[in-house]
Amino acid sequence: MLEDKKRYLITSALPYVNTVKHLGNLVSSLLPADILARYLRQRGEEVLAVCGTDDHGTPAEVSALEAGMPVEKFVEQMSLKQKDIYERFGLSYDIFSRTHTQENAELTQHLFLKLHKNGHIKEKEVRSLYCKNCKRNLPDRYVVGTCPNCKYEHARGDQCENCSKVLDGIDLINPKCIICGESNTEIKNENHLFLDLGGLEGKIKAWVDTHKDWPKTTSSIANSWLKEGLRPRSISRNIKWGIPIPLDGHRDKVFYVWFDAPIGYISISQQWAKQQGKPKLWEKFWKDPETYLINFIGKDNVPFHAITFPATLAGADDGIILADYIKAFQWLNYERLKFSSSQGVGIFTDTALELYPADYWRYYIMKIAPERHDTDFLWTEFRDSINNDLADILGNFVHRTLIFINNNFEGKIPTRNKLEKEDKDILSSLEEAAKNADSEMRKLEFQRTLLVIFDFARECNKYFQSKKPWADMKSNNTERAATTLNICAQCSRGLAVLLAPYIPFSSEEIFEQLNLKESIHKQSWFSVTEKILDGHKVKQEILPIFKKIELEEIIELGLKWGSESIKEVLEKNPNLDPLKKKKKHAPKKIKQKKKVEKVTKELISFKEFQKLDLRVGTIKTVEPVKDADKLVKIIVDIGTEERQIVAGIAERYKPDELIGKQIIVVVNLEPAKIRGVESNGMLLAASADPEISVLVPLREVPDGSKVR
């Protein structure tokens, strides 16, 4: 719940620099921060909204390496690229900068030295793995080896996926570096710096406890950390790319990226102040308790914003305020999958803008914003939302109003006459909508705000429908029609003002069609109920504001990017499948030698597919099965165990061809006895009678690797 304060400071989680972000990143911090900023500005509040890229850390280094560029240059380029995308999305920051700046380096070092002086920094010897080939320290994630607990040979350094024991990279037996794949590592002892969270626990707990109004997502994660007790957290890294540590004995190291990233909020504000020509101006926002500070983040970021960053600030004791509200979002999934930059799952911000206008995305992802729980981006729902809500409800209402005025009143807002009950009702609905939208917005309930506004838009259509101005015109009751249209014009204007934070481009367009001189973005929130002057001339040429999305378009996109929801549509209407259509038109293919079985049996869901546990295994032994010409008994190592399976491939393969090869095994197939021999699984092979081709992984992977 927003409190009334003198000014508002809004931060969105700094997007990590190495890749273009996806819609999930947009919805959990960047976009809602913008919407709130726009709303507050409309209310005439003093607002500072800051953001920028998070530039440091190993992944940036690795990405730069892959791109064959110096880190510094790569990061700068990516930062500018992201900035450009966000501008095109209409994100209205006061400043969008980065963490690799002089300001951030100085401030980070300054706060660190204060923490050190105040006794909150500890030094500890840490044993870590070092890869002599890559000449870099290996984070736990970058190590594989044998699990000391269950002897699984391909355990990752952070956790063994076989016995699920939480590990430490140095515990692994025979550790291997993932980056170069070699086993040329050594254990190094290094002194590292730790932020002593334990000493600050009381302060953090008190601060968390006074904020009972935070979203569940925020407070439950914060409290669970506090409950377990805060332990010292390492803040130094032995890499080159980052902010140097200004302390003797550690000058060869840099700060761990989580330490300097949130400080970026402040240093970016300092940059903004300099741009304003008042270098001290940032203190007004960051050092005055009359400022209301809101962080927008995804749930993965809660520990940093609710525990470690406030601990940094509290420990440094430099007069910088802590957040008043931490709005944490859950995940936006893509068609029931996790959005993933590394695996290219989902829609990325640059692609999105190539496909549809920014407002389409802004509207839809805020409509499904994961405020309470994870939600799904579905192409079908995307289309439904744009077509129903934006085009039909909102767009069409404005459109029918303006066309009517143009056709019947020479394009001039007609004069309002005697009001009837329905007229008064719709006008009070407008006021009510503004009031309710306002109160939801102040609770930072983004979806509910949108619901309130669109409920009102629906009422507007009902009103138009029940007043039947077209019938009035026919029966020469022009005065009555004039009143109706006067009110509809006012409601159109009101809707534009209410929706301006969400769909700024479209709201502006409505204003243009209404031919209102001042930009929508200069309209005060309080002008929602304002009338348009009688006789004011609206634009002559009225075109639909929102173009609808055709089903075919969305099917194509869904097939291109992968989509469960589109598959369901095609299942119901197979004739919509463009692939099948093409087949119809394509000249008949030269007959294949063999009749290929029809590919499409019955569509199954991804979930059903996931029931199969397919693993990679190495064939250890192959023996013929007694009294069977076609069967062989195979022992295959699937990582966790050796399995005996029976396969009907004896006629086509000799044991020598098979032993040592990696194959793919269905490991959760129910056991069966074939010719008296027990078979616990099944190997995958292509059957092209009489030929049989056993499927093998193209590259060698650890036994037990999942196949999907």
Select from 108-116, 216-224, 309-317, 592-600 the region that touches RNA (CB under 7 A): 216-224
CA atoms within 13 A on the CB side of 525: 20
Pairwise CA distance, residues 633 & 611, whole Å: 25
Judged by DSSP in three states, 628 sits in: coil
For residue 48, which of 280, 263, 261, 294 has the smallest C-alpha distance?
294
**Burial class, 74, CB count within 10 angstroms (exposed 0-12 / middle 13-18 / buried 19+):** buried
Question: Do residues 145 and 173 lie in contact, with contact meaning Cβ atoms separated by under 8 Å?
Answer: yes
Pairing relationship of beta strands 375-377 and 332-334 according to DSSP bridges = parallel
Task: Based on the shown chain and the rule CB under 7 A, indicate whether residue 166 belongs to the binding site for RNA.
Answer: yes
- Among positions 409-438, residues that touch RNA (CB under 7 A) are none
Give the torsion through C-alpha atoms of 654, 657, 658, 659, to 10 deg: 110
Q: Which of 303, 562, 655, 702 binds RNA (CB under 7 A)?
A: 303
Subset of 579-638 contacting RNA (CB under 7 A): none
Using CB under 7 A as the binding criterion, the count of chain residues that bind RNA stands at 88
Query: Which member of 214, 225, 377, 382 binds RNA (CB under 7 A)?
Result: 225
> Can residue 369 be called a binding residue for RNA (CB under 7 A)?
no
Give the residue with the Cβ less far from RNA, 14 or 650. 14
Q: Rule CB under 7 A: is residue 128 a binding residue for RNA?
A: yes
Of residues 174-203, those binding RNA (CB under 7 A) = 192, 197
Q: Which of 6, 73, 141, 580 binds RNA (CB under 7 A)?
A: 141
Rounded Cα gap, residues 443 and 446, in angstroms: 8
Q: Using the rule CB under 7 A, is 272 a contact of RNA?
A: no
Cα dist. 592→472, 596, 667, 687 in Å? 69, 8, 34, 16
Indicate the residue among 390 and 647 with the shorter CB distance to RNA. Answer: 390
The four Cα atoms 381, 382, 385, 387 give a dihedral, to 10 degrees, of -110
Gyration radius (Cα) of the chain, Å? 31
Stretch that binds RNA, among 50-58, 199-207, 521-529, 573-581 (CB under 7 A): 50-58
Q: Which two tokens stand for residue 651?
A: 């006629």
Query: Interaction with RNA in 70-109: which residues (CB under 7 A)?
Result: none
Site for RNA in 232-261 (CB under 7 A): 233-234, 237, 256-258, 261
CB of 76 to RNA, least distance (A): 18
Q: What is the per-residue binding string for RNA in 482-501, x denoting contact by CB under 7 A?
A: --------------------
Q: Which helix (H) or strand (E) holds 78?
A: helix 71-88
Among 278, 280, 338, 580, binds RNA (CB under 7 A): 338
In 3-state terms, what secondary structure has residue 515?
Answer: coil
Q: Determine which residue in the list 76, 201, 213, 384 makes contact with RNA, applying CB under 7 A.
A: 384
Q: Which of 87, 374, 410, 657 binds RNA (CB under 7 A)?
A: 374
Which position among 304, 329, 377, 379 is part of the footprint of RNA (CB under 7 A)? 304
Q: Is 388 in the site for RNA (CB under 7 A)?
A: yes
Reported as type and span, the H/E element at residue 674 is strand 672-674
Closer of 157 and 346 to RNA (Cβ): 157
Residue 377 interacts with RNA (CB under 7 A): yes or no: no
Is 55 a binding residue for RNA by CB under 7 A? The answer is: no
Q: How far is the CB of 623 from RNA (least distance, A)?
A: 37
With binding defined as CB under 7 A, does residue 15 bind RNA?
yes
Q: Which stretch binds RNA (CB under 7 A): 104-112, 113-121, 544-552, 553-561?
A: 544-552
**Which whole-number Å values give the CA distances from 71 to 4, 10, 104, 255, 468, in the listed order?**
44, 29, 17, 16, 65
Please identify, using beta-carbon distances, which residue of 537 and 547 lies nearer to RNA: 547
How far is Cα 237 from Cα 49, in angstroms, rounded to an integer?
A: 30
